[in-house]
Amino acid sequence: MNRLLIFTVLVLGFGQLKSQTIEIGQDAKDVKQLIEWSTRQRTGYDTYGNSKGNNVTWDVNYYNGQITEVIQCWANQYLIDFRMSANFCKYYMMEYGKLAYVLTQYEDVSLEKLETSYDNSYGNMKIGEYYFSDDYKNYSKLYLAKNGYATVEWRETDTDLLPSNIKNSIQAKINQKEEEENKKELARQKEKELQKEIKSKTYDLKENNISLYNETFSEIKSDIADYFQKSSSYYRSSSIPSFTDLANGNEKKYRFTNTYTAYYKLEDHSRESVDYGYYIEAGSYDVRQTKEIKLISGTDYSCSLFNSISVKIPTIKIQGYEVMTEATFPNIKVDYAKGITIVKIKSGEVEFKSFPPDEDIQIKLKEKLKSEPKGKYIVQYEVGNIAGKEFVNTELEKKTTKVGSGWLLLGLLLLGLLL
C-alpha cells in the first residue's frame, strides 16, 4: 500500500542511486527540489533519441514568498497496482513551510472505480473509510472533490482527528507496531554488537578449522613444488639454473635445501556503506594479508622462495559471520635437486657413469630408472621433497657416442626437441 500512499522518487548520489521518500513534515524546499528533479528525469530524450516519457509537468505556487503547494501532473500514466492508465495531478500542500498533506486528483477515473481499485489492492488495511499504511502512521481517504475529480487525500495519522469508533483500535495498532519495531531495533543492536565482538578478533585457522588449515598447507606444498618444476619455463627471474645452464657449466647438479616457518594473517580493511540520507556512499570489500617467513636452516636468508609463490589463507565463518584468520606452518622443509647425469642401465641395475648426483638422490633415481631398457643414457632429473610431498621427474636421451660437454649439450637439445 505504501507504494501509492507515499510518493517515492530517485535521487542521484555520488555513491549510488538512493530511494528518497517524500514524507509529511518534510521541508517545502526539499519537496520542491525533489519534484523538479523527478520531472526532469521524464522530460526530453536520451542520447539514442528515445523519449524519456515526456508525460510529466510540474508547478509551484507561492504566497507572501512562501511555498504553499507543489504540483506534479502525469498524462496517460500506467498505474501498476490498479492495472490502468490515468491522467492525474498530485498537490503537495504546505503549512508553515512544511508538507502537511497530499491530494491526488484523477481527471478520467470515477470515484467508484478508484474505490474498487483501492479495495482490491489495499482492502486488508481498510478501517471504516480510511486506508492505512502498513505501520498505521499514514492513511488515505477517498472522496469526490468540489471540482468533480475523484480524490485521494493522504495524511499523517492523528488519532485525535479520527472518528471515535476507530480511534482506540488504531492507537492500539500503532502502539503494537511501535513495540514490534522497538523489539526489532533492540534485536538489530544486539546482533550488531555480537557481530562487532566476533569480527574484532583474529582466529587461528588450525584451531578453528583444521580441514581448511590442512587444505591450505597442501596448496602451499603444491605451489612450492610447481615453482621448482616450472621454474625453467615460467619463472624467468628464478635463481634455479636451467638444464642448459647446467650442461654449459662445470657443476652438473643443483641442490636447494632450506627449512622455514611461515606465518600468515588476514586484516580486514573493508568499509561499510554509509547512508547520508540524500545519497549512499558505497562500501568496499578489502581483505589484506600479511606474512612473516623465518628461515630455520639453510642458505635462503632472504626467504626469497616465499616471495615467488602466491599463498592465500582463507577466511572462515564463526556463528555465521566471515572472520579474519591467522595460520602458522612450522618447519616447512624444502629439498630440491636438479641435474644432469650419465647412466648405464642393465638388467634393472643403474650405474652412474658421469656427473653422479648426491647419494640420497641416486637412490631415488635408481628406483625410477631401473625398469628402463638396457643402454647408456643422458638423464636430466628433478627430485623434490616438499614437507613430505615427493616428486621424481626424469627425461632420458640414449647415448650413442662419447660425451664431452659439447656433446652433452647437443644431447640435451635433442632431448628438449623430443619433449
* pLDDT tens track for 363-401: 999 999 999 999 999 999 999 999 999 999 999 998 765
CB atoms within 10 A of CB 133: 19
16 pLDDT above the threshold of 50? no
Task: Considering only CA atoms, give the Rg of the chain.
Answer: 39
Q: Cα separation of 202 and 326, whole Å?
A: 7
Residue 378 C-alpha cell reads as: 643422458
Q: Cα separation of 69 and 71, whole Å?
A: 6
Residue 379: closest CA among 347, 321, 337: 337
Average pLDDT on 81-109 reads 94
239 secondary structure, DSSP code: -
Residue-wise pLDDT tens digits, 264-302? 999 999 988 877 665 677 888 999 999 999 999 999 999
Confidence bin at 9 (pLDDT 50/70/90): very low
Q: Cα separation of 304 and 228, whole Å?
A: 13
Confidence bin at 263 (pLDDT 50/70/90): very high
Q: What percentage of the chain exceeds 90 in pLDDT?
A: 67
Confidence bin at 238 (pLDDT 50/70/90): low
- Strands (E) across 190-273 are located at 202-204, 253-268
The reported pLDDT for the residue numbered 384 is 96
Q: Which residue has the higher pLDDT, 137 or 142?
A: 142
The reported pLDDT for the residue numbered 282 is 84
Confidence bin at 19 (pLDDT 50/70/90): very low
Confidence bin at 22 (pLDDT 50/70/90): confident
Residue 69: closest CA among 54, 83, 79, 59: 59
User: How far is CA 370 from each of CA 116, 361, 365, 379, rounded to the nearest angstrom?
Assistant: 93, 14, 8, 13
The reported pLDDT for the residue numbered 279 is 66
Residue 20 C-alpha cell reads as: 528518497
The reported pLDDT for the residue numbered 6 is 40
Confidence bin at 20 (pLDDT 50/70/90): low
The answer to whether the beta carbons of residues 145 and 177 sit under 8 Å apart is no
Q: Which residues of 196-211 are buried (b: 16+ CB within 10 A; e: fewer)?
A: eebeeeebebbeebee
Question: Given its phi and psi angles, is residue 76 left (phi above 0), alpha (psi -120 to 50 degrees) or beta?
Answer: left
DSSP letters along 223-234, please?
HHHHHHHHHHHH
97 Cβ contact list (under 8 Å, min separation 6) = 27, 28, 66, 67
Residue-wise pLDDT tens digits, 164-189? 888 888 888 888 888 999 999 999 99
Residue 106: closest CA among 94, 95, 114, 97: 114
Residue-wise pLDDT tens digits, 47-83? 777 777 789 999 999 999 999 999 999 999 988 888 8
Residue-wise pLDDT tens digits, 311-331? 999 999 999 999 999 999 999
What's the burial of 298, exposed, middle or buried (CB within 10 Å: 0-12/13-18/19+)? middle
- pTM for the whole thing? 0.64
Average pLDDT on 199-207 reads 97
419 pLDDT above the threshold of 50? no
The answer to whether the beta carbons of residues 311 and 291 sit under 8 Å apart is yes
Confidence bin at 163 (pLDDT 50/70/90): confident
Phi, psi of 98 (to 5 degrees): -125, 155
For strands 349-354 and 321-346, give the pairing: antiparallel
The reported pLDDT for the residue numbered 383 is 97
Average pLDDT on 347-355 reads 95
Q: What is the mean pLDDT of the chain?
A: 87
The most confident of 33-42, 194-203, 397-406, by mean pLDDT = 194-203
For strands 321-346 and 202-204, give the pairing: parallel
380 Cβ contact list (under 8 Å, min separation 6) = 243, 339, 340, 394, 395, 412, 415
For strands 253-268 and 321-346, give the pairing: antiparallel
Confidence bin at 409 (pLDDT 50/70/90): low
310 pLDDT above the threshold of 80? yes
Average pLDDT on 401-412 reads 52
